Amino acid sequence: MELDARVLDMLQQVGMRRSQTVLDFGCGYGAYTIPVAKIVAEQGIVYALDKDREALDELMQKAESAGLKNIDRMETSGELEIELADESVDIVLLFDVFHSFYFPQAEDRRRLLGEIHRIMKPSAILSISVWPNLIEPEIEDEIKNADFHLGKEVSETLTDDNKHPETRRVLIFRKA
């Protein structure tokens, strides 16, 4: 399967659908933001949040080239508050960002999870993946302690040449 098709398949397994409102927290250069924008289509919206201006610039250029108008750039200074309304988001992606490298302090992780919980609709999904294939066990516990429960788990095979494929876990949480 082509890389793009594999990403689309994984996102659909996560629960991504047309018309949804999605927050891609720590979106980087948009490896997921762009496919998400294609899935949610014109009726949906993707908030692309990052503190890296250069990454966001490149992402927005890619979006423009692809003719995607449903990506809302959210450039931050790395603060943990999220400027979105309570219960306004269907899916939050925390892909390769919610780990001790970016958030070494447990208190910061707790505050961010609180913000994410606040903006999620009651039926919303929080999807977390960590490169290369494991989520730190204490962080998985922290997520559960922040009033989320683990639903299903999806795996994603990375690399497009299949010579050295790696599988990573994509965990899907819902509000408890």
The binding track of 9-28 with respect to ligand SAM, each residue x by CB under 6 A or -, is -----------------xxx
Q: Measured from the CB of residue 95, what is the shortest distance to ligand SAM in angstroms?
A: 4
Among 13, 70, 76, 157, the residue binding ligand SAM under the rule CB under 6 A is 76
Look at residues 121, 56, 55 and name the one whose alpha carbon lies nearest to residue 84: 121
Applying CB under 6 A, does 156 fall inside the site for ligand SAM?
A: no
Look at residues 62, 65, 73, 98 and name the one whose alpha carbon lies nearest to residue 23: 73
CA distance between the termini of the chain? 35
In degrees, rounded to 5, the angle at the alpha carbon of residue 45 between the alpha carbons of residues 42 and 47 is 150
Residue 97 CA to residue 10 CA, distance in Å, equals 18
Applying CB under 6 A, does 115 fall inside the site for ligand SAM?
A: no
Residue 14 CA to residue 156 CA, distance in Å, equals 11
Q: Measured from the CB of residue 33, what is the shortest distance to ligand SAM in angstroms?
A: 8
Residue 8 CA to residue 36 CA, distance in Å, equals 8
The binding track of 78-97 with respect to ligand SAM, each residue x by CB under 6 A or -, is x----------------xxx
Q: Measured from the CB of residue 122, what is the shortest distance to ligand SAM in angstroms?
A: 25
Applying CB under 6 A, does 55 fall inside the site for ligand SAM?
A: yes
- Which residue reads 């931050």 in tokens? 76
Chain positions 124 to 153 lying near ligand SAM, rule: CB under 6 A, are none
Q: Measured from the CB of residue 76, what is the shortest distance to ligand SAM in angstroms?
A: 5
Q: Measured from the CB of residue 69, what is the shortest distance to ligand SAM in angstroms?
A: 21
Which phi and psi (to 5°) does residue 147 adopt?
Answer: 75, 35
Sign of CA dihedral 121, 122, 124, 126: positive
Q: Which residues pair with 50 in a beta bridge?
A: 75
Contact residues: ligand SAM, CB under 6 A: 26-28, 31-32, 49-52, 55, 76, 78, 95-97, 102
